[in-house]
Amino acid sequence: MARYTHSAMLIGLMLTAAIPLAAQDRTDPNKPIDYPSQTSFPHENRQAVAKHLSAARKIAGDDLARDFQWRCLISPLDKKLVFGVQHNGLIPPTRIFDNLYSIGQNAVSAFAITTPAGIIVIDSLKNPAEARDILVPNLKALGLDPAQIRYVVVTHGHGDHWGGAKYLQDTYGAHVVLSGADWDMIEKPGHGGGPFADLVPPRRDIVAKDGDTVTLGGETIRLYVTPGHTPGTLSLIFPVYDHGKRHMAGLMGGTGGGHDSATVHQQIASLERWQKLTEAAGVDVLVTNHPVHMQATEKQAMIRYAMPGDPNPYIYGAPRYQRYMQVQEECSRVQLARMGESGDD
């Protein structure tokens, strides 16, 4: 009886807590409802949108359904949901592979690659404070010494990826690597406006060209310029080790489309090329520079609580990696179709 009474009380409290919200919804039945709308595309080519959505959905199947839904549907249609999921927040730093560590936050990723000669950091979070108060403490929590940072490879010129680079450059003497086009982008006064307009860029250092490499301690990262997301987005291929077994990781520096027809066409061409490059390199590990793009926060939790013999969720296998990129390509074609085009080359 006591258990029943306790449960009834809990239900009553829950119902009572819900009443104010319900009452608020019907406070003034004559007042128009002012809810936010999904993004509309008044010039969309509806037939082409349906065609490429269907293609992306078929490629995704069940195992990549969330990735399809995020890139093709949620991200372009529901910005409030995007901002809610991709919020600033602390997440536990995690050793993903023997030599690859997650040191970022919920909204944007940063990684450390360890070598016998020092550390390569990929992306640097949103500003000097995040580099100082998130990235550096995450390194230390994982037993890594930030004084060993030798390179900071910046995937592209949006402030949430390079904002902490100057701090790492000034504090630890790290070399900052960026493509020429995106060096130009971040050095423009105001960087095009927006929330990162007041950021101070790092001193121009290493200008990466397509096909360049960063080598440290016997490990090599291959860099490719894949424009579309920004004019000089850098994408990376590098080895990772799972309990000593070698795999190849692929990180496309910007999988989202551009801002107009020309840049989305660039993005599609880059995605097509990236599929060929990663297939030739035998890439079987997916890495993305925003956790939400591959449910990385959830995957990292699985790694931290893994039992002996549990598979590493970052290892997709080569065929699945290619399908992930094909989904990204089809979603970019959906983006073109929403602009009124066919979405075809």
Q: What is the pLDDT of residues 232-264, one digit of tens each?
A: 999 999 999 999 999 999 999 999 878 899 999
Q: Is the CB of residue 337 less than 8 Å from the CB of residue 257?
A: no
More confident residue, 22 or 109: 109
Choose among 113, 134, 86: nearest CA to 293.
86
Please state, rounded to an integer, the average pLDDT across all residues of the chain: 92
What pLDDT shows up at residue 28? 81
Q: Are 152 and 168 spatial neighbours (Cβ–Cβ below 8 Å)? A: yes
Q: What is the pLDDT of residue 331?
A: 97
Domain residue ranges in the chain: 46-338
Mean pLDDT of 133-145: 98
Distance CA 241, CA 98 (A): 5
Assign domain 46-338 to its CATH architecture: 4-Layer Sandwich (3.60)
Strand 118-122 relative to strand 94-95, pairing: unpaired
The pair of three-digit structure tokens given for residue 8, joined into one six-digit string: 């009834």
Beta strands in the chain (DSSP E): 94-95, 100-102, 111-115, 118-122, 149-153, 175-179, 206-208, 213-216, 219-225, 234-242, 245-251, 285-286
CB atoms within 10 A of CB 244: 6
Residue 16 has pLDDT above 90, yes or no: no
Number of H helices, E strands in the chain: 13, 12
